[in-house]
């Protein structure tokens, strides 16, 4: 008789999506989550009735699975389009406003904008468009090139700063030296050609509501996968070492965590997961005593200066419904490789560094702070240096041959939430042949 039990490791959005789709198809599902909450890197903090996203910040308008799941858990009415501008503070003390939906960036000048239009025409508009939420095609001419290499002319400095560096920091939490041209195109497509969508209770509301409908065991860390005769047959628990059997196991955790779960006989898969760089990320959160500009939700310093904290988000301007007090809540954003040292610093040093950097984009900021805290993510966003997409494709090809186990990760589609759910749909398809269409 077929064993219709599926164990899912991890209650992030990928694991939760897989669990929901499997339960709808009659499978017995158990979700084992090491922490005491669902959502993974989707996190919402609350203070005196105000809420703030301290992980994933928004959904993109071309998401499909996310919006389907929102409708299922009655969150559709809470969707809000993020409006407002990005304010850039230049090194000469001047500022300018920019909206990512505007096809002209003042600071680039006519030549720079024409160069940017040429890039879009050549590499996006007139090219075959590969899947946006799933790494599925090999393009060595992009994958083997560093992101900054395309704009290498001396007159391209503004493009390198305000397009490549700014996008790399905002979308990938790292400097562009650790990003391939392939991944830059991927990020450019999803950022430039979509609208940003938030939820009035916070991004994590989707995971929170979905988890309420599913059998999640919290504070239940898994030690490793258990295999017999070349097939994964269950998991060994961390606490008492007990073994739980299942017909299929879905590991929906970050690559570093997956590496620790994989047994010795799956050495090739373990090596792949160990090769993925996820830089840690300490996020300072500032609760201010007043509102800032309502027409600006992102404050960016001159990207060419490359400060430790290069931009800040006004969470109140982003989603006013989340902050009944009306006072601004500002989150500070750093990235790889700066966070490698930053993660080990105490909260007061992180707060001081972020406050000093943000002060240069929001004059008087330090005097507005009413309270501050730091939320620490052990894993931020995956790095995609040159040849990373090829390695992902190789891994997925080999993983299809494994018996009894599937891996779910946003890594397989570019480190956004929808790719995690796309990966979950692929895992569900392996279990029951579902095509992901209903």
pLDDT of residue 102: 83
Confidence class of residue 436 from pLDDT cuts 50, 70 and 90? Answer: low
Q: Look at residue 99 and tell me if it is in a domain.
A: no
pLDDT of residue 433: 79
pLDDT over threshold 90, residue 366: yes
pLDDT over threshold 80, residue 438: no
CA angle, 257 as apex, 205 and 338 as ends, to 5°? Answer: 80
pLDDT of residue 331: 98
Instruction: Specify the 3-state DSSP secondary structure of 92.
Output: coil
Pairing of strands 222-228, 311-314: unpaired
pLDDT of residue 135: 97
Q: In percent, how much of the chain has pLDDT > 70?
A: 98
pLDDT in tens, 198-222: 999 999 999 999 999 999 999 999 9
pLDDT in tens, 110-148: 999 999 999 999 999 988 888 999 999 999 999 999 999
Average pLDDT of the segment spanning 289-293: 98
pLDDT over threshold 70, residue 281: yes
pLDDT over threshold 80, residue 406: yes
The C-alpha atoms of residue 303 and residue 294 are separated, in whole angstroms, by 23
- Strands (DSSP E) contained in 84-152 are 85-89, 95-98
Among 159, 192, 225, the domain-final residue is: 192
Q: In percent, how much of the chain has pLDDT > 90?
A: 93
According to DSSP, the residues that pair with 336 across neighbouring strands are: 174
Among 142, 170, 192, the domain-final residue is: 192
Chain centroid, CA 117 distance in Å = 27
pLDDT of residue 3: 82
The C-alpha atoms of residue 399 and residue 266 are separated, in whole angstroms, by 10
Q: Evaluate whether 178 touches 336 at the Cβ level (below 8 Å).
A: yes
The CATH number that applies at residue 15 is 3.50.50.60
Classify residue 124 by its DSSP letter: I
Question: Could you tell me the strand order of the sheet in which 28-32 lies?
Answer: 216-217, 28-32, 5-9, 248-251, 405-407
pLDDT in tens, 224-262: 999 999 999 999 999 899 999 999 999 999 999 999 999
Q: Look at residue 308 and tell me if it is in a domain.
A: yes
The C-alpha atoms of residue 34 and residue 237 are separated, in whole angstroms, by 10
DSSP class per residue in 231-245: EEEEEEETTT--EEE
**Could you tell me the two tokens for 259?**
């590496």
The C-alpha atoms of residue 376 and residue 355 are separated, in whole angstroms, by 17
Same domain, 332 and 272: no
Which residues are within 8 A (CB) of 2 and not within 5 positions of it... i.e. 6 or more apart?
247
Same domain, 398 and 267: yes
Average pLDDT of the segment spanning 56-69: 97
Q: Look at residue 397 and tell me if it is in a domain.
A: yes
Which residues are within 8 A (CB) of 201 and not within 5 positions of it... i.e. 6 or more apart?
44, 51, 78, 322
Same domain, 271 and 283: no
pLDDT of residue 129: 83
**Could you tell me the two tokens for 101?**
């939906």
**Could you tell me the two tokens for 225?**
């996968």
pLDDT over threshold 80, residue 435: no
Report the candidate in 280, 276, 282, 260 with the shortest Cα–Cα distance to residue 332. 282
Widest distance between CA atoms in the chain: 72
Same domain, 217 and 286: no
Classify residue 151 by its DSSP letter: T
Q: How many CB atoms lie within 10 A of CB 42?
A: 24
pLDDT over threshold 60, residue 177: yes
H or E element in which residue 158 lies: helix 157-159
Handedness of CA 53, 436, 246, 409 (dihedral sign): negative
Same domain, 392 and 268: yes
Same domain, 365 and 285: yes
Among 192, 227, 250, the domain-final residue is: 192
Average pLDDT of the segment spanning 93-120: 92
Confidence class of residue 2 from pLDDT cuts 50, 70 and 90? Answer: low
Which residues are within 8 A (CB) of 136 and not within 5 positions of it... i.e. 6 or more apart?
130, 393
Summary mean pLDDT of the chain: 95
Number of H helices, E strands in the chain: 16, 20
Q: Evaluate whether 34 touches 252 at the Cβ level (below 8 Å).
A: no
Q: How far is CA 189 from CA 88, 129, 185, 195, 334, in A?
A: 21, 10, 6, 12, 22
Q: Inter-axis angle of helices 267-275 and 388-399, to 10 degrees?
A: 150
- pTM to 2 decimal places: 0.95
Handedness of CA 143, 146, 152, 158 (dihedral sign): positive
Same domain, 302 and 271: no
H or E element in which residue 22 lies: helix 13-23
Q: Look at residue 437 and tell me if it is in a domain.
A: no
Average pLDDT of the segment spanning 282-298: 97
H or E element in which residue 297 lies: strand 296-301
Q: Look at residue 97 and tell me if it is in a domain.
A: no
* Residue span of the structural domain in which 31 resides: 5-41+205-277+384-432
Domain count, the chain: 3
Same domain, 284 and 373: yes
The C-alpha atoms of residue 279 and residue 378 are separated, in whole angstroms, by 8
């Amino acid at each position: 008789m077929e064993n219709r039990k599926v164990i899912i490791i991890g209650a992030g959005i990928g694991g939760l999506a897989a669990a929901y789709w499997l339960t709808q198809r009659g499978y017995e599902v158990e979700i084992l989550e090491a922490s005491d909450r669902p959502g993974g890197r989707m996190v919402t903090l609350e203070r005196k009735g105000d809420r703030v996203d301290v992980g994933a910040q928004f959904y993109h308008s071309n998401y499909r699975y996310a919006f389907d799941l929102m409708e299922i858990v009655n969150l559709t009415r809470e969707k809000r389009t993020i409006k407002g501008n990005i304010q850039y503070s230049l090194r000469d003390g001047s500022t300018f406003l920019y909206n990512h939906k505007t096809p002209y960036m003042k600071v680039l000048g006519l030549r720079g904008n024409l160069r940017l239009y040429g890039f879009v025409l050549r590499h996006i508009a007139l090219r075959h468009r590969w899947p946006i939420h799933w790494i599925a095609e090999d393009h060595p001419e992009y994958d083997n090139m560093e992101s900054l290499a395309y704009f290498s002319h001396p007159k391209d400095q503004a493009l390198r700063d305000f397009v490549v560096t700014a996008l790399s920091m905002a979308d990938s939490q790292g400097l562009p030296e650790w990003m391939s041209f392939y991944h830059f195109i991927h990020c450019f497509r999803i950022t430039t050609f979509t609208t940003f969508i938030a939820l009035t209770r916070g991004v994590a509301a989707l995971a929170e509501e979905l988890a309420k409908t599913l059998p999640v065991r919290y504070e239940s860390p898994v030690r490793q996968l258990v295999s017999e005769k070349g097939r994964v047959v269950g998991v060994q628990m961390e606490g008492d070492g007990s073994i739980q059997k299942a017909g299929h196991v879905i590991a929906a955790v970050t690559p570093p965590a997956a590496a620790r779960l994989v047994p010795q006989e799956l050495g090739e898969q373990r090596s792949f997961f160990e090769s993925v760089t996820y830089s840690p990320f300490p996020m300072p959160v500032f609760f201010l005593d007043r509102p800032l500009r309502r027409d600006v939700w992102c404050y960016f310093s001159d990207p060419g200066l490359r400060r430790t904290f290069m931009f800040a988000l006004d969470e109140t301007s982003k989603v006013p419904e989340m902050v009944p007090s009306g006072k601004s809540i500002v989150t500070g954003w750093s990235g790889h490789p700066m966070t490698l040292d930053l993660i080990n610093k105490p909260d007061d040093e992180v707060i001081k560094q972020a406050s000093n950097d943000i002060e240069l984009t929001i004059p008087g900021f330090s005097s507005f702070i009413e309270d501050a805290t730091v939320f620490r993510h052990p894993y931020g966003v995956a790095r995609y240096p040159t040849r990373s997409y090829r390695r992902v494709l190789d891994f997925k090809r080999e993983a299809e041959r494994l018996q009894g186990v599937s891996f779910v990760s946003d890594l397989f589609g570019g480190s956004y939430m929808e790719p995690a759910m796309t990966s979950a749909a692929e895992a569900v398809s392996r279990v029951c042949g579902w095509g992901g269409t209903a």
